[in-house]
Structure 1
């Protein structure tokens, strides 16, 4: 595992990984029961009468699965994946029970902090796809990433 410091990152770099998460039907219901108890997440019959046309995982369930996939991806920023905020979060298609998700991320911008010289911000677009390579979530957010300490070796 190669830890990436702010100094190692540049716009256009892309990261993926082999990790996949299958959205199990019972997890759709348990997540929704606790955090988003709406009929289109809980009741398959009722969901057919909604704009989803069937049972769909909560967008927040998708976001949580995306976070796990991001942590398991090839993107390993120094200091961990520490969010500073989002400017975009969209769910263009619903995630269905049984879908298998994966992520791809692209560095959009890298900026050193003026007030905290030991760190900076990375603007990252993370796209989540289902098993059909359909985009089910896209987010653009800023992450706090540590700069390379003077004693740390460079990336090979």
Structure 2
């Protein structure tokens, strides 16, 4: 069976409150919808330690790039905003950090800090789209849309005397 999410402090408090009000484990499960294991574990922890907090956030491997390392990396990126990830890694490692970091750690940290190539590409595409829209709207005489053009081109096949001119009068 898969691992479910952690209970919030509010949910843990609800379990303790319902159990303290005199409900059994089964009644608590039926009322709140949590598993029997979760209800019994949270209530037992509260009875033993008088607290219900989860300590799962303090487990796992410690980060190589902590808060001060993130600040250092931000300074490196701001000073060399056109540098590649390999160059950023080399500059970060030469900046006097205790442990050198790998290229993967550099990329992961940059992503966590909000630096990504994808966002830059999207910004470029948005700017290009805005330029195209500005150019299109700068020609007020051009009111035909692509569906109008399709209709008029099919009409023109039957009547060759009708011509379609898509050039803007401002450009002539």
TM-score (norm 1): 0.22
- Structure with more strand by fraction: 1
- Structure with more helix by fraction: 2
Question: Relative contact order (C-alpha < 8 Å, sep 6+): which is higher?
Answer: 1
TM-score (norm 2): 0.20
